[in-house]
Each structure stands twice: as C-alpha cells, then as structure tokens.
A and B are shown apart, each in its own frame.
Chain A
Amino acid sequence: MTEIDQASKIGEIIEAYPADQRFALAALQDMQHAFNFIPEEGLAALAEYLGCPQAQLYSMATFYKALSLTPKGEHIIKICNGTACHLRGAMNLATELKRDLGIEPGQTTEDGAFSVELVNCLGSCALAPVMVVDGNYHNKLRVEQIPGIIESYAEGVTDHD
C-alpha cells in the first residue's frame, strides 16, 4: 500500500464516523483491521478530526489488546490460553511454535510471515487446546501436528476445513 493509498484509506475510515470522542475506539479498530496495525499518521489524523490530544488516542492504542502500533505478520496464529486450554497444554503449543518459528508469543517472524499471540479464552473450551490461524480453528491440537500446520500456511494452502 502506497503512502497516498494509506492516507486516503485513513480519511475514509475516520469520516465514516461523526466527529465525536465516543467513536474513537471504533475508528481505531477499523484502522487495525485495514492495515493490520495503527499507523502513526492514523493517530494524528483521528486526533485532528476529533479535536483531542494525540496522546489520548496513543493511550487507547496501547491499552486495548485488539490494537497494535507495530505491523503484524501475514498469518496470525492465536494460541488460546484460557483456563481450559491452559490445563490441556496450551503452553506446550507455544513452546513448539517457538521451536518451529523461533518467536515468542507477541512477536512476528523476521520475514513478516507469522505473528504468534497468546490470547484469552476464545469460547471454544470444549475443544481445548485450540489454536486459530487466520480465523481457522485447529481443535484438540497435539504438539506433533503443529509443524505440518505451519508448513501448510507457509506454502499458501488456505483450505483447512
């Protein structure tokens, strides 16, 4: 995405809302969705539109987990660490991912292909442990299945039903 594209997309997102502080979170979430992170230009533009200090939006961007100030990877791997998943070995999944990708939860691989996140309960406790890659659920996952799953995404295989 070029700078001009980004700027016009930011404008489009912001102007979809009335200039009222109560829509700040929604606008930031839309930016997160559009760019996979919140660009600094986005914070500045929104602050100007709402007439609030940029620091106030910065504090929101760092407070809410759904928002990120750094770009995320192309594929986002979420390991559920809700209680049920934790009891059924979620942390072992994280260890295995570190072995395969060389990154800890919260990090992105150098080539920008994968981000790993340890997330709170996804509400699929009955199927624990759960790992979600790009929105596809992998249920009752065993550690030894992980390398194959990673490989399939790295190769661009998207059919995971």
Chain B
Amino acid sequence: MINGTERILVCCGTGCIANGALGVADAIQKELDARGLADDVKLDVSVVRTGCSGECEQGPIVRFMPRDLMYYRVKANDAAAIVDSLEGEPVQKLLFKKDGQTYEHMDDNPFYALQHKVVLKDVGVIDPLDINEYIARGGYEGLKKALTMTPDEIITEVEKSGLRGKGGAGFPTGRKWRTAAGYDVFPKYIVCNGDEGDPGAFMDGSTMEGSPHAVIEGMIIGALAIGAEEGVLYIRDEYALARDHIQRAIDAAYEAGILGDSIMGSDHKLDLSIVRGGGAFVCGESTALMASIEGRVGEPRAKYIRSVQRGLFDHPTVLNNVESLASIPTILRDGGEAYAQVGTERSKGTKVFAMVGKVKHTGLVEVPMGTTLRTLIYDIGGGIIDDRPFKAIQTGGPSGGCIPEELLDLPVDFDTLVEYGAMMGSGGMIVMDDRSCMVEVARYYVDFLCEESCGKCTPCREGLRQMRAILTDICEGRGKHGDIELLERIGRTMQDASLCALGRTAPNPVMTTIKFFRDEYEAHIERKECPAGVCAKLTQFAIDPEACTGCTMCSRACPAGAISGGRKETHVIDPHLCIACGSCREACRFNAVLTERRPA
C-alpha cells in the first residue's frame, strides 16, 4: 500500500541531507500538523522521505505526487508556501527555470526527460524504509515468479536479458550464475559488492539508500538460481545511511516472511547479513572483498581458481554488484527479452552514472546503454559550468581514463570506450574544463592508488610509487626529457604483471592522459608551464586591470591575504604572498584573473 493519495516526496539522499533535507521534511510535517491537515481524511496527505531523486546540485528537492510538481533548492522556511500550494498555485520561486522557461513537472526538466529508469525506478519515489511501498510498485513480483521456476529457467531468463556486470567488468551475469549453479558443493554463497570506492561515484550508495528491497530481491533470486542459503552484503565503511537502510530492509523482509527459513512460504531458505567494510579501496576487488568478509586483511589472491568455484570460505560464490542485483527483479518480472529491448547490440539495458565535476547539473542519472557522452554532458548535464570550454571527461574512476572532446560522440557501453583506451567503468563520470590540468589529474589518481594498493605484488606497489615520483616532478617543474616514455614503460609492465585488476588498470589514468593530452605533459616538461594554470610551482596569477571591476570577490576569497584593492578599485596580487591556489580565479565572475608561466 502506498501511503497517502497526496504525497509530498522529500528527497533524503546523502546529497540532499547534506543540504538540510531532514529539516525541510520536518518543517513541512509541522506545517501540516499545525493546520490539522496531517489527519485530514479527504486530503490524505503524507510526507515521504525518499532516496536520491538525482539532481543533487539543485537539492533539497521536494516533489508533489500525483500532480508531479517539482520544487528545487527548498529551505525549511519555504514549508508554509509549499503546503499552501497543495491545493493552489505552484510556488514560482522554487520551480526549475532555464533559459527563461519554467518547468513545473519533473519530466519536463531536460535533466530527467532523457533518462530511462530501471534500477532507479523506485529511488526518489518511495519511502525506502516501507516495504509495502516497494510491494505496491511491483516489488517482490519478480521473486514470486522465480519461486515457480526451476534454477535453470531463472538463469535462462537472466541470460536472455543480456545483463552484464555493472560494476564495470561487464561479465555476463547469467553465465556467472550458470557456472556457480553447476557445482555440487554446499554451502554456496551469494555476495553483494557494495564497496563502491571509486572517487566521484555514488550510484550504488544511492541505490542501496533509495531502493534497498530491490537489491535484496535480486539477491534472493540469485540465491534460488545457484542454490545458496546464505548471502552477505559487503558495504563500504563510509556509507552509514546505505547500511542503515539495507539493515532495516533486511529486518522488514524477515518479518514479512520473505527472508528466513521459508521464502514466501516455499521450502527455500536464505539468510542475509551485512559486513561493514574497513575503508580499503582494494576490497572492491572480488577476492580481497571475500578475504575481508572472512575476517582477514583484504589482499587479493591470484585467480587460478575462480570465485564461482571456490570463493568465500573456499565454497562456490557468486559476487554481483549492487546495480546488477537491483536490475534482476525487473528482468524476472517483465522477462529477459523486455529488458534487452533497451541498449546496444552487446550491452543491454541501462546504466546509472554519477555525473560530477565542472558540469552544470551534477547528480545521478540512468540512461540506456549506448547513450553518447555528448548527450550525457550537454543535454542532460546542461553543459559546462560558466559555459567554459570542455576539456575531458574522466570515466571509470582510478581504473578508467580521460576522454577528450573528439570522442564525445561515441556510445557509452562496455566495449566501445575500451577500443579507445578508456572504459565505461562502474559509472563515475567527472567532467573537466580548461582549468583542469591533465597531468595533475593523473598524479591525483596515482596518488590515490599508491595509498590504496595493498602492496602484495611488486608491479603495482613499486610501479605506482615510481609513477607518483615522476608525475610529482613533472608537476613541480623538475620533469625531464624521457619521462613520458618511462611512464609508459612502467604502465605497460603494471598492466601485464600485476596480480589483480587494481594493479592492471592502475596505469589507465596516466596512459590515457598521455595518449590524448600529450601536449600538456610536454608543456610541463619542456617549457615548465602548466597550460591550465593549476600546478602551483609553474603558475603565477595576475589581475587584468581592464577586466577588473573592483568587486572585491577575489580578495575575500584569497586565503593568503595577497590581494589588495578597495571597492571599485583595480585589485593587485602581491606575488610574494601569493600561494598560487587559484581561489581568486574561481571567485572572479569577470574573467579578470589571468595565469601565466611562473619564471624559474
């Protein structure tokens, strides 16, 4: 049953909560109570705290259903106006506006209009903590159907859907299940990988927060298919809210007889529990993750024997990513063929992306496989902040690569980007403009991986350290001829010789930036210049007296107190005090802060 015929949906995803959404929800509830509307049978209105509705940049977001009115950037003191509009005119100032046009409904907003939601269909629509709301929207129908099928029939349905592992590797889910089902060794395990560690990615976290029952239903169906009676969700330490919602959903499922000794009254059983990650990126790797669940240090092992044969506690184990599992209920309910209608020849269905960085509308989006990067960035994302020139989009996190402008019309799926030396990855997309230095970006990822490499195998451990040293030299003006070639040699060795996927893909950010932005490396090395004006040791800042309006924004932003000049006076930067952090350039609205090469 859905609560209320008039529903006020308040987005309470991590992003909106950080923006004060809980206060907004409370204020609206108080306003309803004060007016005696909370118990009004005729109006039957309820405030629903939902998962992430996607457009985090514009949060907190409040939506009226069934009228489909969408309010953005709502504050607690807007509550009275919002409640007024329940039966009246929409609150104009809270509606989305773009190019002089006002959008009342969610689907009119271009950010949402081009999306196609399967995994996220209930996220932002239902109260994730209320199992009945999930059931009212067709939840656990897929499981009901699966209980009437044989394991072989379930797996065949998943194979028909063409579903591939959405954690980034793209391994066919049906084939993985079939292999695991084929072993007659018990107990078997089904494990959900919720250790989403790529910086800039929050797809799985939002899915677990906003639709926890979809993940659980997917796991139950998977368990039926392979014959597992125990399952574990490994969830990242940083995702407190996701863990809380999954735990409460598990409790509700037990109470409803969906988990436990008799799944929906059948003679199948399944127990699910959560293991909280320890804060190690490498634990997203399958064998490291299983080592961590077993209560050991999360180091990967060589995969001569696959996890489907001998995984957790040396027993057959299927490990699926959150998004893959959350796709399963729809596949079972509507059939594999229906799911395969969307997408490309070899990549079926949809993919969720977290689009962040220098793009206007950052947030969570789900689109059909094969959508182009240009559509994602410009049509859905609204283009680059301040309409600055686009430079690159980084996909796939530390395992992925940087893609330049000329490849923006490529369809995004599992295979196409790989042909160009990049990858779709798990779904993190970071948009960069002309003020992002590609050498520094490569150094950032290598630095991240240096900290996160478990240190077990030499190519990854030492290769990353040497890469970091060379990249730091280049960024600080000590780069020398031959450094680029040396980076490429180290990278190839790591790709060939590392033990696990972390090490094998670790050079990708370096290799792709060299491939597509070699001129930036050369500028740093040959001319000791950072074209983006980011590397502090190579850059100095100055104010263009023609463009400066004396608004004082830059001097207020300067942490070093290096900028002088009163209101309506031309400002001046003292180069001796300047720490070249770039805060003034970010603050200036008139493009008056210039960068130039710092003399040696």
A residues at B contact (CB < 8 Å): 20-26, 29, 56, 59-60, 63-67, 81-84, 86-89, 92, 95-96, 99, 119-128, 130, 137, 139, 142-144, 161
Docked pose: A84 CA to B454 CA in angstroms: 24
In this assembly, does B356 line the interface, its C-beta being within 8 Å of a C-beta of chain A?
yes
15 residue pairs from A and B, CB less than 8 Å apart: A22-B294, A25-B295, A26-B275, A65-B237, A66-B279, A87-B357, A87-B432, A88-B586, A95-B579, A120-B197, A123-B202, A125-B354, A126-B15, A142-B557, A144-B557
Docked pose: A88 CA to B441 CA in angstroms: 12
Closest-by-CB residue of B relative to A136 is B18
Which residues on the A side are within 8 Å of B581 (C-beta)? Answer: 89, 92, 95, 143
Query: With contacts A65-B278, A120-B238 known, is A83 near B298, CB below 8 A?
Result: no
Closest-by-CB residue of B relative to A23 is B295
Closest-by-CB residue of B relative to A143 is B559
In this assembly, does B280 line the interface, its C-beta being within 8 Å of a C-beta of chain A?
yes
Closest-by-CB residue of A relative to B196 is A123
Which residues on the B side are within 8 Å of A65 (C-beta)? Answer: 237, 278-280
B419-448: CB near A (< 8 Å → 1, else 0) gives 000000000101010001000010011001
Q: Across the interface, do A83 and B199 meet the contact criterion of CB distance under 8 Å? A: yes
Output the residue of B19, B199, B358, B581 with the most chain A CB within 10 A.
Answer: B199
Q: Across the interface, do A64 and B279 meet the contact criterion of CB distance under 8 Å? A: yes
In this assembly, does B205 line the interface, its C-beta being within 8 Å of a C-beta of chain A?
yes
In this assembly, does B567 line the interface, its C-beta being within 8 Å of a C-beta of chain A?
no
- Nearest 3 pairs of A and B residues by beta carbon: A64-B278, A126-B56, A65-B279
Shortest Cβ gap from B598 to chain A (Å): 18
Q: Across the interface, do B278 and A21 meet the contact criterion of CB distance under 8 Å? A: no
Which residues on the A side are within 8 Å of B298 (C-beta)? Answer: 63-64
Kindly identify which residue among B277, B362, B583 contacts A143, using a CB–CB cutoff of 8 Å.
B583
What 7 new A-B contacts, CB under 8 Å, besides A64-B279, A123-B205, A124-B15?
A25-B276, A25-B292, A82-B199, A84-B430, A95-B559, A121-B201, A127-B18
Docked pose: A120 CA to B557 CA in angstroms: 25
Kindly identify which residue among A24, A66, A89 contacts B237, using a CB–CB cutoff of 8 Å.
A66
Which residues on the A side are within 8 Å of B579 (C-beta)? Answer: 95
Docked pose: A63 CA to B453 CA in angstroms: 10
Which residues on the A side are within 8 Å of B19 (C-beta)? Answer: 127, 137, 139
B281-319: CB near A (< 8 Å → 1, else 0) gives 100000000001111111000000000000000000000
In this assembly, does B6 line the interface, its C-beta being within 8 Å of a C-beta of chain A?
no
Q: Across the interface, do B278 and A84 meet the contact criterion of CB distance under 8 Å? A: no
B223-243: CB near A (< 8 Å → 1, else 0) gives 000000000000001110000
Q: Across the interface, do A122 and B238 meet the contact criterion of CB distance under 8 Å? A: yes
Output the residue of A59, A63, A119, A125 with the most chain B CB within 10 A.
Answer: A125
B351-374 at interface with A (beta carbon < 8 Å): 354, 356-358, 362-363
In this assembly, does B582 line the interface, its C-beta being within 8 Å of a C-beta of chain A?
yes
B239-294 at interface with A (beta carbon < 8 Å): 239, 275-281, 292-294
Q: Across the interface, do A120 and B297 meet the contact criterion of CB distance under 8 Å? A: no
Closest-by-CB residue of A relative to B313 is A22
Which residues on the A side are within 8 Å of B15 (C-beta)? Answer: 123-124, 126-127
Q: Across the interface, do B278 and A60 meet the contact criterion of CB distance under 8 Å? A: yes
Docked pose: A26 CA to B377 CA in angstroms: 41
Kindly identify which residue among A21, A82, A124 contacts B14, using a CB–CB cutoff of 8 Å.
A124
Q: Across the interface, do A121 and B556 meet the contact criterion of CB distance under 8 Å? A: no
Docked pose: A25 CA to B18 CA in angstroms: 29
Which residues on the B side are within 8 Å of A22 (C-beta)? Answer: 293-295
Output the residue of A23, A83, A92, A99 with the most chain B CB within 10 A.
Answer: A83
Which residues on the B side are within 8 Å of A124 (C-beta)? Answer: 14-15, 18, 56, 202
Shortest Cβ gap from B53 to chain A (Å): 12
Shortest Cβ gap from B239 to chain A (Å): 7
Docked pose: A60 CA to B295 CA in angstroms: 9
Which residues on the B side are within 8 Å of A143 (C-beta)? Answer: 557, 559, 581, 583
Docked pose: A20 CA to B295 CA in angstroms: 9
Which residues on the A side are within 8 Å of B363 (C-beta)? Answer: 126
Output the residue of A20, A81, A84 with the most chain B CB within 10 A.
Answer: A84
B residues at A contact (CB < 8 Å): 14-15, 17-20, 23, 56-57, 59, 196-202, 205-206, 237-239, 275-281, 292-298, 354, 356-358, 362-363, 394, 397, 428, 430, 432, 436, 441, 444-445, 448, 454, 556-557, 559, 579, 581-583, 586-587
Kindly identify which residue among B238, B293, B397, B436 contacts A87, using a CB–CB cutoff of 8 Å.
B436
Which residues on the A side are within 8 Å of B587 (C-beta)? Answer: 142
Query: With contacts A63-B280, A143-B557 known, is A121 near B14, CB below 8 A?
Result: no
Q: Across the interface, do A60 and B297 meet the contact criterion of CB distance under 8 Å? A: yes
Kindly identify which residue among B200, B237, B276, B436 contacts A82, using a CB–CB cutoff of 8 Å.
B200
Query: With contacts A60-B296, A92-B581 known, is A125 near B362, CB below 8 A?
Result: yes
Shortest Cβ gap from B557 to chain A (Å): 6
Closest-by-CB residue of B relative to A126 is B56
Which residues on the A side are within 8 Å of B354 (C-beta)? Answer: 125
Docked pose: A86 CA to B446 CA in angstroms: 13
Q: Across the interface, do A83 and B582 meet the contact criterion of CB distance under 8 Å? A: no
Which residues on the A side are within 8 Å of B445 (C-beta)? Answer: 83
Which residues on the A side are within 8 Å of B23 (C-beta)? Answer: 161
Q: Across the interface, do A87 and B201 meet the contact criterion of CB distance under 8 Å? A: no
Which residues on the B side are within 8 Å of A125 (C-beta)? Answer: 56, 200, 202, 354, 356-357, 362
Docked pose: A106 CA to B59 CA in angstroms: 32
Q: Across the interface, do A119 and B238 meet the contact criterion of CB distance under 8 Å? A: yes
Closest-by-CB residue of A relative to B201 is A121
Shortest Cβ gap from A140 to chain B (Å): 9
Query: With contacts A25-B295, A119-B238 known, is A64 near B559, CB below 8 A?
Result: no
Query: With contacts A95-B581, A120-B448, A161-B23 known, is A26 near B296, CB below 8 A?
Result: no
Q: Across the interface, do A83 and B357 meet the contact criterion of CB distance under 8 Å? A: yes
Docked pose: A124 CA to B209 CA in angstroms: 13
Kindly identify which residue among B296, B356, B432, B444 contacts A128, using a CB–CB cutoff of 8 Å.
B356
Docked pose: A67 CA to B20 CA in angstroms: 29
Q: Across the interface, do B556 and A144 meet the contact criterion of CB distance under 8 Å? A: yes
Which residues on the B side are within 8 Å of A60 (C-beta)? Answer: 278, 295-297
Docked pose: A125 CA to B362 CA in angstroms: 8
Q: Across the interface, do A99 and B275 meet the contact criterion of CB distance under 8 Å? A: no
Docked pose: A147 CA to B440 CA in angstroms: 28
Closest-by-CB residue of A relative to B241 is A123
Q: Across the interface, do B20 and A161 meet the contact criterion of CB distance under 8 Å? A: yes
Which residues on the B side are within 8 Å of A81 (C-beta)? Answer: 199
Kindly identify which residue among B238, B293, B430 contacts A123, using a CB–CB cutoff of 8 Å.
B238
Q: Across the interface, do A21 and B296 meet the contact criterion of CB distance under 8 Å? A: yes
Query: With contacts A89-B582, A95-B579 known, is A29 near B276, CB below 8 A?
Result: yes
Shortest Cβ gap from A38 to chain B (Å): 12
